[in-house]
Structure 1
């Protein structure tokens, strides 16, 4: 009787271990990563609020072990950020979208760099230039009008943090469209 009881316990433990192993390996093989454009599209389409939406990837940008993918979601600016895991696969860790806008800036925190500002526009963008005071320094960036683009705003390096003031947006003729 004792032998049957031990056999039953060992069998139960073996079944549980096989089940756990199967779950572990099936999870690894079914997971979608951001390793290429097709898998990035699959990741975006798998996220609540993004499923079934029209997605146009504008660029795939790698900065060290981070991958930044600006895209248009239903022709509105968005981006997704991935980090490379120990297996070399890109796991998504942040996604953001802006609704009702043809021009959007996104503040990116990349582990090995200071803050970066990425501007994503769609083909309805009318802003040709932007000015902003960053920690008392005037920063200016030009943009292509009427075209979906990705631009990076070069801001001064700061160990004290950032203060942004006096945003100005200009049209192609140099007229101020609006100020913040």
Structure 2
């Protein structure tokens, strides 16, 4: 399983944060439309991320509900039949939430920085520090904390739960 250290925070001033991220990343963002469907499963989370272009990825992950840098373990599988896979998973497992967002994806070294506009929820920023195979989570946590400080992300703005939990609307 791949692993990373993640944080999610409310974005109070999108323009200011975007400037800080662009200065740190040194390259423009890639804009992605994402439609995430969440399915019932025995452990962790299972979501289908549809990019709206006939491509999608099925992502199974485990992450604690915790404000601050948290370890996430995940696997991803690509599909070119998102509608068929969504229908099959909904039939077999049931679906419990849907999250639609526009994501601006930046990279700063090994860290993915997401500036998200989430339908019905607002603006957020996420950091995902990708861990090497044998790397200790503490190393990733230190990097996440350093980036939080550089970007001006305050502890009071950190979110403990996923967008799906914030939204929790059936589709």
Tell which has more relative contact order, 1 or 2 (C-alpha 8 A, sep 6+): 2
- TM-score, normalization by structure 2: 0.29
More helix by share: 2
- TM-score, normalization by structure 1: 0.28
Between structure 1 and structure 2, the one with the greater Rg is 1
